[in-house]
Structure 1
Amino acid sequence: MGRLLIKCIGLLLLLIGIYYLGQNIIFTSTYYRYFYQSLPAVGSVLAIVGGILTLVFFRRETGNFGWILLMIGIVLIFLSGGVILQPTSLWNFLVSFGTIAVGYKLLNEGRINF
């Protein structure tokens, strides 16, 4: 019961950190006059969906191909100009990143070594 509680606390901290860090990232979509201007946006959506489906359903068959598709999708999102990064304070970033790191460590190992 104790290990399950520690893993749940780790998952909760991980999700809280991702939530607070993700509040300063805005994804937008715009109207493109010509079809070829929207190719990075369409490619990013297809790469991310393909990467998630590959990781969830075909993990053994594809190996790291799903991670590669996710990285390509993230790069294409930034190339399409559909991401707005709002300014954040250093304190907010450190607390968010710290909760992500501690949550991940608790979720994987069940303890924190100082």
Structure 2
Amino acid sequence: MKFICQLLGIGLMLLGVYLLGKNIFFTTSAYPYFWRGIAADISVLALTSGVISLFMLPKTEKILGWILIGFGVVFVIYSSRAVLNPISLWHFFLSIVSMVGGFKLLTDRQFGG
């Protein structure tokens, strides 16, 4: 059982890296003012922090993860300059969930480690 959980964890991590590498593009551009690209940056950070919070925080504090994911979605909608494919927000969410879930399977003492 331990080996299967570790194998599943590695598979989920690889799936997450594949989805992230395939569907998200990070580009740079010069803005005349520093605040024009902040909403896109905040959305990526909020989504990542939210997913990590859902997996890593205790059950009593998981609402923070959902709040961060909500802020991330709002900021993606607010910033039309986010360089994501039309459906890559959900691919991004799925890739982060896969990577963090796979990592959790590898490091969890009950299943993986």
Matches within 5 A, 1:1-114: 3-22=1-20, 23-44=22-43, 47-48=46-47, 51=50, 59=58, 62-77=61-76, 79-80=78-79, 81-85=81-85
Q: Normalization by structure 1: what TM-score? A: 0.50
Structure 1 residues 54 and 13: alpha-carbon distance in aligned structure 2, compared to 1, 3 A threshold: closer
Q: What letter corresponds to residue 37 of structure 1 in structure 2? A: R
Matched residue count: 91
Q: Which has the higher strand share?
A: 1
Structure index of larger Rg: 1
The normalised TM-score by structure 2 is 0.50
TM-aligned CA distance change 1:79 to 1:28, over 3 Å: farther
Moved more, 63-72 or 3-12: 63-72
Instruction: Quote the RMSD (CA, aligned, Å).
Output: 4.1
Structure 2 gap ranges (5+):
106-110
- The runs of 4+ residues in structure 1 deviating greater than 6 Å are none
- Cα 1:76–1:42, aligned 2, differ >3 Å: closer, same or farther? same
* Cα distance change, pair 70–27 in 1 and its aligned pair in 2 (3 A): farther
